[in-house]
Amino acid sequence: MKGLRKYLTPFAPDQSGAVSVLYELGGLTVIIDAGGCTGNVCGFDEPRWFDKRSAIFSAGLRDMDAILGRDDALIQKIVDISDAFEANFVALVGTPVPAVIATDYQGICHILEKKIHKPVIYVPTTGVGLYDEGMEMAYLALFEKFANNKPTSQTEAILGVTPLDFTHAFSLPTFNNFEDFGCVGSLKKLYVASPAALKAAKRLHNRYGIDYEVRIPGLSLDIHDVHHILFIGQQVIGHTLRQQLAIPFDIASFFMMKPTLREKGDVHLIEEDDLIELVKKNDYDMIIGDPIFKDMLQDYQGQYLELIHFAVSGRRDFS
């Protein structure tokens, strides 16, 4: 049945992906909702919330605020909050409410910048997309507003890293500091670690001539005596492993699948049954993926290598 889920919990939505990009940049993030979306971000979708706080607020929209489109009330709330917090910028993050009432983000940003004398950006997420769509929008908004070519000692950096995909640290800078965006134009090379960062990397290449490579430096697996692998998860992680292992290696994902990275055998998944049928009809020696997918594949007899994907299973312990 279309849309039926017997195993998977809801994936992290687009507003959660946007917040994951903004989280450590020292900004004031305002989620334009009645409170529920913000609660989901902080309570389920953002693993850093429990040990590294960020200035994230709900607009606290009431029914009549939404029905009447009371932008003046929203603006005044943000002005009051910004007076109480030191922040590098203000970011407005969309949810289903502003999407339905066609909130004029650009107009609100223009008014706010005059009132608070700080940069204001907006991420037009709708709450119905997936986390990587929100990440992509956030990167584009940040670079459009703040990208510059200030001098930096760094020559390379990794773009597209958040805890929704990755659980380990990286040796190169990963754009988790606000200052990194102002120096991006001085970089020589970007490593694109997520499909959500590819569009931003292309724009930076066109603007500053920065070379980019879609690969995660340092990522490797020591695998032997395996002839056919299925990777379930974020496409660039799978792409990096496939290049390293050089054996038959299929990638399947419920998330972004960029055409330039796809090869024969790769599958964009929509329903749970898509994954179940894929495994049934192929003789995979090994499957690599989040543990939650293992529960779906109870008839699979090969090796299963668990690789946590927080955007997939972060809500599992709360369901």
Convert the pLDDT of each residue in 151-198 to its tens digit: 999 999 999 999 999 988 787 888 989 999 999 999 999 999 999 999
91 closest CA partner among 167, 36, 19, 42? 19
Output the pLDDT for position 167: 85
Output the pLDDT for position 171: 79
H/E stretch holding 311? helix 310-313
Output the pLDDT for position 319: 45
What's the gap between Cα 22 and its chain centre? 10
User: What average pLDDT does the chain have?
Assistant: 93
Burial per residue of 97-106, b for 16 or more beta-carbon CB atoms within 10 angstroms, e otherwise? bbeebebebe
Task: Output the CA angle 158-172-233, nearest 5 degrees.
Answer: 45
Using one digit for the tens of pLDDT, what is the confidence trace for 85-102?
899 999 999 999 888 888
- Residue 306's region, left for phi above 0, alpha for psi from -120 to 50, else beta, is beta
Distance CA 231, CA 250 (A): 6
- Low-confidence stretches of the chain (pLDDT < 50) are 318-319
